[in-house]
């Protein structure tokens, strides 16, 4: 299989100026209950790059689902006007607020999104409240009942050290029957493996309802403390049900493998499939700045990797981030395209 190739930049000058978005990253994307695509982005600034005015995170942009193949076309943002407002109520370098109370999450630098999911007429957003980059103090869910336009806390929170700090970064997907949500989780430091959990869709915002997939020394089963299902050093990830050419749905995991400096795709027939032996391909390879070739899937300082709704295995689009930490530009999200149908074998 050939690596993914770049379709277009999704954010930056000339693309997202009307939303007050110059520099941003991430871009996990789901389909809203009423049809549009929703993409959630992390630390966002009005100028191209990192820093300057208009710092907010997370923000949400809407896209026309019919524009996927040519590159997502933004149609609006979460906020009272075009300007993309921060959808979680807090102050950078301040206290985390919910209503009139103030939690003991002192000096929250930023709140970063990890993934969204649509459950019936609701959209849930999982975020990390961070004290400095890479140090989540807690994670929580936020809920939108109006297609991603406004958001409120869902009353579901976990401490940053939950499951040994491996419940910080999260991706999830609901099964075809709409009964169970399966979630893969890891730490934010990009030095941990993956855990698998599940929760009934109608109890998603109840932390007590989440159960782990664990190994007892002889068998795997639910209801146990989760056991690492794939060792490694992983970061951002996207678990989605994606059809093949015949219409059969597969579970596709797109994940930033920081240890090997690449974005991979794993094909699963079920979330409990063995990730050690699952078919895998590399979509985008990390490289040095003088070695870049976006047409051949080589990107410097890459991360992210989020499947775009509407994709199939042979027509897969993913959102990839890039941040030049030496100069703070590029700091943007891009769309890449790949054909991973050969994973079916």
Contact present, 283 and 263 (Cβ < 8 Å):
yes
Q: Which three-class secondary structure state does DSSP give residue 72?
A: coil
Query: Which residues share a beta bridge with 238?
Result: 254
Which residues have C-beta within 8 Å of that of residue 42, sequence separation ≥ 6?
Answer: 24, 25, 26, 57, 58, 110, 112, 113
- Distance in angstroms (rounded) separating the CA atoms of residues 171 and 261: 19
Model confidence at 272, in pLDDT bands (50, 70, 90)?
very high
Q: Is the pLDDT of residue 102 over 50?
A: no
Q: Is the pLDDT of residue 67 over 60?
A: yes
Query: How far are the Cα atoms of 40, 62, 212 from residue 333, in angstroms, in the given order?
Result: 11, 15, 32
Query: Which residues share a beta bridge with 123?
Result: 118, 144
Our measurement of the distance from residue 116's CA atom to the centroid of its chain's CA atoms, rounded to an integer in Å, reads 7
The reported pLDDT for the residue numbered 99 is 46
Mean pLDDT to the nearest integer, 34-59: 97
- Distance in angstroms (rounded) separating the CA atoms of residues 110 and 92: 5
Structure tokens at 240: 């989605």
The reported pLDDT for the residue numbered 134 is 82
The reported pLDDT for the residue numbered 94 is 56
Phi (first) and psi of residue 342, to 5 degrees = -65, -15
Contact present, 334 and 322 (Cβ < 8 Å):
yes
Q: Three-state SS string across 226-291, please?
A: CCCCEEEEEEEEEEEEEECCCCCEEEEEEEEECCCCEEEEEEECCCCCCCCCCCEEEEEEEECHHH
Which has more confidence, 6 or 134? 6
Contact present, 90 and 146 (Cβ < 8 Å):
no
Specify the length of the chain in residues: 345
Q: What is the pLDDT of residues 119-153, one digit of tens each?
A: 999 999 999 999 887 889 999 999 999 999 999 99
Which residues have C-beta within 8 Å of that of residue 92, sequence separation ≥ 6?
Answer: 55, 56, 57, 108, 109, 110
Q: What is the pLDDT of residues 229-262, one digit of tens each?
A: 999 999 999 999 999 999 999 999 999 999 999 9
CA-nearest of 166, 64, 69 to 114 is 166
Structure tokens at 335: 């769309």
Contact present, 294 and 307 (Cβ < 8 Å):
no
- Distance in angstroms (rounded) separating the CA atoms of residues 262 and 70: 24
Q: Is the pLDDT of residue 97 over 90?
A: no
Mean pLDDT to the nearest integer, 218-230: 98
Model confidence at 345, in pLDDT bands (50, 70, 90)?
confident
- Overall fold of domain 5-344: Tachylectin-2; Chain A (2.115.10)
Average pLDDT along the chain: 95
The reported pLDDT for the residue numbered 105 is 47
Q: In what order do the strands lie in the sheet with 136-144?
A: 110-119, 122-130, 136-144, 152-159
- Distance in angstroms (rounded) separating the CA atoms of residues 295 and 286: 13
Q: Is the pLDDT of residue 100 over 70?
A: no
CA-nearest of 312, 311, 310 to 245 is 312
- Distance in angstroms (rounded) separating the CA atoms of residues 221 and 229: 12
Domain range summary for the chain, segments of one domain joined by +: 5-344
């Amino acid at each position: 299989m050939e690596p993914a190739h770049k379709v277009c930049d999704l954010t930056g000058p000339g693309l997202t100026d009307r939303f007050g978005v110059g520099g941003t990253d991430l871009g996990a994307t789901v389909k809203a209950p009423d049809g549009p695509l929703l993409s959630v982005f992390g630390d966002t600034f009005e100028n191209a790059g990192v820093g300057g005015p208009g710092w907010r995170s997370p923000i949400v942009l809407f896209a026309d689902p019919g524009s996927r193949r040519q590159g997502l076309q933004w149609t609006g943002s979460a906020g009272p006007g075009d300007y993309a407002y921060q959808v979680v109520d807090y102050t950078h370098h301040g206290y985390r607020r919910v209503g009139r109370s103030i939690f003991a999450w002192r000096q929250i630098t930023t709140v970063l999104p990890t993934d969204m999911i649509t459950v019936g007429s609701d959209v849930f957003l999982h975020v990390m409240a961070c004290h400095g980059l890479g140090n989540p103090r807690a994670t929580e869910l936020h809920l939108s009942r109006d297609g991603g336009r406004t958001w409120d806390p869902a009353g579901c929170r976990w401490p940053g050290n939950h499951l040994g700090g491996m419940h910080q970064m999260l991706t999830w997907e609901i099964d075809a029957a709409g009964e169970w949500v399966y979630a893969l989780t890891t730490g934010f430091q990009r030095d941990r493996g993956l855990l698998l959990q599940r929760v009934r869709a109608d109890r998603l915002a109840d932390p007590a309802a989440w159960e782990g997939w664990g190994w007892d020394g002889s068998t795997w089963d639910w209801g146990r403390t989760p056991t690492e299902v794939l060792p490694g050093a992983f970061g951002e990830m996207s678990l989605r049900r994606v059809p093949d050419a015949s219409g059969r749905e597969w579970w596709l995991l797109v994940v930033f493998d920081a240890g090997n400096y690449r974005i991979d795709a794993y094909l699963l027939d079920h979330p409990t499939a063995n990730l050690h032996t699952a078919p895998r391909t590399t979509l985008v390879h990390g490289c040095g700045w003088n070695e870049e070739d976006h047409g051949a899937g080589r990107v410097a300082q890459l991360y992210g990797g989020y499947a775009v709704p509407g994709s199939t295995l042979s027509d897969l689009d993913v959102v990839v981030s890039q941040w030049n930490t030496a100069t703070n530009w590029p700091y943007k999200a891009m769309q890449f395209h790949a054909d991973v149908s050969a994973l079916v074998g």
